[in-house]
A and B are shown apart, each in its own frame.
Chain A
Amino acid sequence: MKAEDTLQFGLRALTGFRTRTWLMLLAMSIGVGSVVVLSSLGDGARRYVTGEFAELGTHLLIVLPGRSETTGGHPPLMGEVPRDLTLQDAQALLRSSAIKQVAPIVVGSAPVSVEQLEREIMILGATPELYPIRHLELSRGKFLPAGDVEQGAAVAVLGGKVKRELFGNRRALGEWIRIGDRRFRVIGILKDKGQSLGTDISDVAIIPVATAQALFDQPSLFRILVQAKGPDAAVPAEQAIIDIIRKRHDGEDDVTVITQDAVLATFDGIFRALTLTVVGIAAISLGVAGILIMNVMLVAVSQRTPEIGLLKALGAPQKQILHLFLMEAALLSLLGAALGVAVSFFGVWALGRAFPDFPFEIPLWAVGASVGVALATGLLFGVLPARKAARLDPVEALSRR
Chain B
Amino acid sequence: MIQLQGIERIFHVGSEDVHALRAVDLKLDAGEYISIMGPSGSGKSTLLNILGLLDHPDRGDYLLDEINTTSLSDDQRAEVRRHKIGFVFQSFHLVPRLSAAENVELPLTLAGIEPEERKPRVEQALASVDLSDRAHHRPDQLSGGERQRVAIARATIMRPALLLADEPTGNLDKHSGSEVINTLETLNREGITLLVVTHDPEIGTRARRRIRMVDGAIEKDESHPD
Contact = CB atoms under 8 A, between A and B. Distances in A.
18 contacts: A1-B110, A307-B93, A307-B95, A310-B93, A311-B106, A311-B110, A312-B81, A313-B54, A314-B82, A314-B107, A314-B154, A315-B80, A315-B83, A317-B78, A318-B74, A318-B75, A320-B110, A401-B91
B81 to A, nearest CB: 4
A53 interface: no
B93 A306 contact: yes
A9 B112 CA distance: 13
B93 A15 contact: no
B54 A315 contact: no
Contacts of A307: 93, 95
Interface string A383-401: 0000000000011001001
Interface residues of B, number: 29
Contacts of A13: 97
Interface in A294-316: 306-307, 309-316
Given A317-B75, A318-B74, A398 B89 contact: yes
B98 interface: yes
Contacts of B87: 313-314
A172 B80 CA distance: 99
B49 interface: yes
Contact of B78 (A15, A306, A312, A401): A312
Contacts of A1: 109-112
Contacts of B98: 12
A318 B79 CA distance: 11
A5 B102 CA distance: 12
Interface class of chain A by DSSP? helix
Contact of A314 (B75, B91, B110, B112): B110
Contacts of B102: 12
Contacts of A9: 109
B110 A315 contact: yes
Nearest to B96: A16
Contact of A316 (B52, B78, B93, B96): B78
Given A1-B111, A2-B109, A5-B112, 4 more contacts: A9-B109, A310-B95, A314-B107, A401-B91
Contacts of B110: 1, 311, 314-316, 320
B93 A315 contact: no
B107 A394 contact: no
A394 B54 contact: yes
Contacts of B111: 1, 315
Contacts of B112: 1-2, 5
Q: Which range holds the interface residue count of chain A?
A: 20 to 34
Contacts of A395: 49, 54-55
Contacts of B78: 312, 315-318
Interface in A313-368: 313-320
Contacts of A320: 110
B150 to A, nearest CB: 13
B93 A309 contact: yes
Contacts of A314: 81-82, 87, 106-107, 110, 154
Of A5, A310, A313, most B-chain CB atoms within 10 Å: A313
A57 B72 CA distance: 79
Interface in B62-106: 74-75, 78-83, 87, 89, 91, 93, 95-98, 102, 106
Contacts of B91: 306, 401
B148 to A, nearest CB: 14
Of A5, A311, A320, A401, most B-chain CB atoms within 10 Å: A5
A271 to B, nearest CB: 49
A13 B89 CA distance: 22
Of B55, B107, B110, B158, most A-chain CB atoms within 10 Å: B110
A386 B41 CA distance: 33
B34 to A, nearest CB: 19
Given A319-B75, A320-B110, A313 B52 contact: yes
Contacts of B81: 312-315
A317 B74 contact: yes
Of B78, B82, B95, B111, most A-chain CB atoms within 10 Å: B78
A324 to B, nearest CB: 9
